[in-house]
Chain A
Amino acid sequence: MMKGVIRVELFKILRQSKTLYALVAIFIIEGFVLVSAYYQGTEIIDLLLANLKDTFEFKGDLLNGNLIIYMILNSLWFHIPLILMIIVSGFLTSEYKDRTIEAVLLQPVSKTKFIGSKYLVSSLFTLLVVFLLAISTFGISYLVFGKGDLVVYLNGLNFYPTEEAFWRLASAFAVGTLSMLFFSLVSLTFAVLFKDATKTWIVSAIFLVCTNLLLKIDFDNSILNRFFYSKLIDSWQYYFYYEIPYEKIYINMSVLFLYCVFVSIAGIIVFKKRDLLP
């Protein structure tokens, strides 16, 4: 029966207009980056490399597809998780608002199966959105701007040849997906706790802002500095270090995955225990 519940959840997501709005919103962000890069990218690059150009000779075009992909990749900091949190939490808050959650739970379906399928389908939706973003970003960027070396400012300017840039960017998208999954699952748990869409959105946005702030804060505690959730969400950035700290990335991903499981289980337990009040 779990298969049936999951199939129904997927069907509902596909039939809701807000799913389309979410995808459109993400592609609008992508479009903005592409258009602004097209018109202003050269000026920014020139400004960034002004000092270096006095000392070094640059060949080729640094405003290329790889740089554009890196710029869009940076929307994983705030824009993409914010949109994902709004949409994913809406999968549940809309059921509370329309009271369809009551109608569903009046059928012989367990609360655990229902909310479990919400978490599962939200995860699939998140993976699909990031996958589509990555595919379209690579496709359009290479098509419009072509390939070339990647210049990244991360503790100084780093340059990567075009072949190396591709797999670094692709790996960063893959690892960043787990961070997006974490934010999506947190927002769904907020929806379980707050039920109301506006409250959930506000709390989700605050959570996202606080997470980005907490990432930069030193807790003066080695364990917290290493394993607190906010310290794990930027693992995708490590792919732009010259020496990629693979072990740290794998450990971060494993711990973040455990956070995802914990957040989901917490939401399922709260949902199961709570009465469904009007």
Chain B
Amino acid sequence: MIFNASKISKSYGTLAALSEVDLICQQGEICGLIGANGAGKSTLFRIILGLIKQDSGSVEIQSSSPKPIGGIIEKPALYEYLNARENIKVFSEIQGIKVSAKTFNELMQEVGLSPDRKDAVKNYSLGMKQRLGLAVALLNNPDCLVLDEPFSGLDPMGIYSFHNLIKKLSRENKITVLISSHIVGELADLCDTLYVLSKGRIIKSGFSGEIYNSSVSSYKLVGENFPDMRELAAMHPIKIQGGYLVQISRKEITGLLETLINRGTRITACVPQSDLKVLFEDKT
């Protein structure tokens, strides 16, 4: 265990933003935090990053690095009138480290940015700013990264590439990543473990696949030669481009696929669809 947030509570006046939240991450693990707007994700991340103080509870990070934890809260905040090199210079000097030209080039390559770009950061796309923000977060080699909504505002290509970058950092550099996102499927695919936060409380936690699958209540079937779907009325099939969306449980999907294939349907994709209502349902 590298990171342990224990019994974290925080209130704003009479509003309890977080109540007794526990969260544990192992080294090199990607830990996801899912929650609706106002669930308390950003408050929890701000507490973990030391930007706000919790009313009670503790945050423990086992690290010998001078900077145990780095992060980005929502959109990356950079000095827009400075270029990438100057931003890195500013953020490294305030923590007492010198970044040589070689280190700067390596850092830029690691996050997928060109080290030769000299113009101000205000000209960068959001995806590029996210990458530079990540480079700033990685300065001084933190053991743990906290990324709050890093996919927000990125196009699908940007999401794909940032997803791979985070995975690479975790797998190759053994950096523990704590990440939140509204894109549940993306998070389920990226993370090893998931925590579901609702109204300031952790209501579910466990392996990412298990948590995600428990919320799957429909599947998107894409293919050709679908039979008359009226026979499957109980599954409430909805016609979509190239196939159907059917409401069916995990146990029943295998049987349905067999039936369709036996009837000559060519299934090219079967994509589970998470039901957010089920995911955020508090059964405790």
Contact = CB atoms under 8 A, between A and B. Distances in A.
Interface residues of A, number: 27
Contacts, number: 79
Interface in A1-50: 1, 4-5, 7-8, 11-12, 15-17
Interface in A85-138: 98-109, 114
B90 A8 contact: yes
A278 to B, nearest CB: 7
Contact of A15 (B82, B91, B93): B82
A276 B67 contact: no
B50 A7 contact: no
A103 B78 contact: yes
Interface string B122-146: 0000000000010011011000000
Nearest to B46: A276
Nearest to B75: A99
A17 B122 CA distance: 14
What's the dominant secondary structure at chain A's contact region? helix
Nearest to B51: A276
Interface in A254-278: 275-278
Interface residues of B, number: 34
B80 A4 contact: no
Given A106-B71, A277-B52, A4 B93 contact: yes
B77 interface: yes
Interface in B229-266: none
Contacts of A278: 42, 73-74
Contact of A8 (B66, B70, B93, B133): B93
Contact of B139 (A17, A107, A275, A276): A107
B96 interface: yes
A108 B139 CA distance: 10
A111 to B, nearest CB: 9
Given A107-B94, A107-B95, A275-B51, A99 B77 contact: yes
6 contacts: A1-B96, A15-B82, A99-B77, A105-B51, A108-B95, A278-B73
Given A106-B49, A275-B52, A275-B53, 11 more contacts: A5-B93, A5-B94, A11-B86, A12-B79, A101-B77, A107-B67, A109-B94, A114-B94, A275-B51, A276-B46, A277-B46
Interface of B: 42, 46, 49-53, 66-67, 70-71, 73-82, 86, 89-91, 93-96, 133, 136-137, 139-140
